[in-house]
Amino acid sequence: MGQVIYLDGEFVPVEQARVSVYDHGFLYGDGVFEGIRMYSGRVFKLEEHVRRLYHSARVVDLQIPLPPEEMSRVVLETCRRNELDDGYIRLVVSRGAGDLGLDPRKCPKPTVVVIVDRIALFPESLLEKGLTAVTAATRRTAVDALDARVKSLNYLNSIMAKIEANLAGAEEILMLNREGYVCEGTGDNVFIVRGGAVLTPPAYLGILEGITRATVLDLAREMGIEAREAVFTRYDVYTADECFLTGTAAEVVPVTTVDGRPVGDGRPGPVTRRLREAYFEYARSHGTRFRD
C-alpha cells in the first residue's frame, strides 16, 4: 500500500491529494500547522500538539471544522493507514479556497490535511559530532507584529535565515530579536548549558513554545539538573559549556560551533548527551497508540 493522505474528510493516495490554487494557505500562507512525531507505533504528545493547533487557529480567527477529539482520531487513523511506525506527521489547516483578495471572509471552508511520512533534518554523523551554526542577520519577527507562539504557515522569516545558513556553509542558524537577544533557530528552540544549569529563552522574546522544549525541561528537572528560562545573548552562547537545539523534527541536536567559535571543548557535552538519551527513551515509551 502506498502513502495515504487525509484531505477534507477523505483518505486518498498521495498522487490524488489536491488543494485549490485559490487556497489562501497557498496564496498568502494563511493557516496553521503542527509537526508531530511518531515512535514505535505511538503518536508523541498528540494532545499537546492538537491543543496548540487550536490555540494558533483561535489567534488568527480560523474556525477548524473538526472538534479537537475528532482531529486526534483523524491523525491516528492516518497513521494506521500508512506503513510507518516511526516517522513524522504534518497536520495543516489553511483558510481554504477564496478569491485573489486578502479578505478571509471570502474563504467559506478551511482545508484540513494530514500527511504521514519520514523526516530527517540532519544526518546521523552530524548528530555525533555536533552542528555548526552561525548568527542570522535576519531578525526574528517582532512579537508585536506576529506572536511566534502562533505556528502559522508563513515561515518566510525562517527561510530567509536558512538561506543565510546555507550560504555560510552552516547546518543551522541562531536568530536574534531586534534587541539582540537569542531567540531560536529556524525551526528549533535553543538551549545552553552553563555551570551545570540548562537555560533556554523565554517565550516573550519571540519564540515558539516548543513541545520538545517543554519535554526536555521536564526531563532535566526530573534528572536533578537545574533547568529554567533565561534571557541571553551571543556572548553567553560563545562562553557556554554546551549548546543544543530541540524541536519535533530536529529532536535533540548538539551544536558545537557558533560563528566559528567552539562551544565548550567543541564536542557534544555530557548534559546534552544525557538529555538526548533521556528524550528518546521517554518518547519511545510514551504516546497515543495507533498500532499494536
Among 92, 117, 142, identify where a domain stops. Answer: 117
Shared-domain flag, residues 129 and 249: yes
pLDDT at 75 over 70: yes
Shared-domain flag, residues 144 and 217: yes
- Residue 36 to residue 181: CA distance in whole angstroms: 28
pLDDT digits (tens, 9 = 90+) for 78-113: 999 998 999 999 999 999 999 999 999 999 999 999
Shared-domain flag, residues 164 and 71: no
Shared-domain flag, residues 169 and 100: no
The three cell numbers locating residue 143: 512579537
The three cell numbers locating residue 76: 491516528
pLDDT digits (tens, 9 = 90+) for 137-187: 999 999 999 999 999 999 999 999 999 999 999 999 999 999 999 999 999
Mean of pLDDT values over 245-260:
96
One-letter amino acid of 254: P
36 vs 291, higher pLDDT: 36
Query: Annotated catalytic residue: which of 109, 129, 151, 162?
Result: 151
pLDDT at 62 over 90: yes
The three cell numbers locating residue 123: 544526518
Across all residues in the chain, what is the average pLDDT?
Answer: 96
Shared-domain flag, residues 201 and 79: no
Shared-domain flag, residues 151 and 247: yes
Among 53, 82, 117, identify where a domain stops. Answer: 117
Q: Is 106 a catalytic residue?
A: no
Please give the pLDDT value at position 125.
80
Among 87, 117, 147, identify where a domain stops. Answer: 117
pLDDT at 124 over 90: no
| Range 134-170 burial, b when 16+ CB lie within 10 A, else e | bbbebbbbebeeebbbbbbbeeebbeebbebbeebeb
User: What is the reported pTM?
Assistant: 0.95
Mean of pLDDT values over 43-69:
98
Please give the pLDDT value at position 29.
97
Which residue range forms the structural domain that includes residue 36? 4-117
pLDDT digits (tens, 9 = 90+) for 104-117: 999 999 999 999 99
Shared-domain flag, residues 47 and 11: yes
HEC secondary structure over 231-244: CCCHHHHHCCCEEE
> Considering its fold, how many domains does the chain have in total?
2
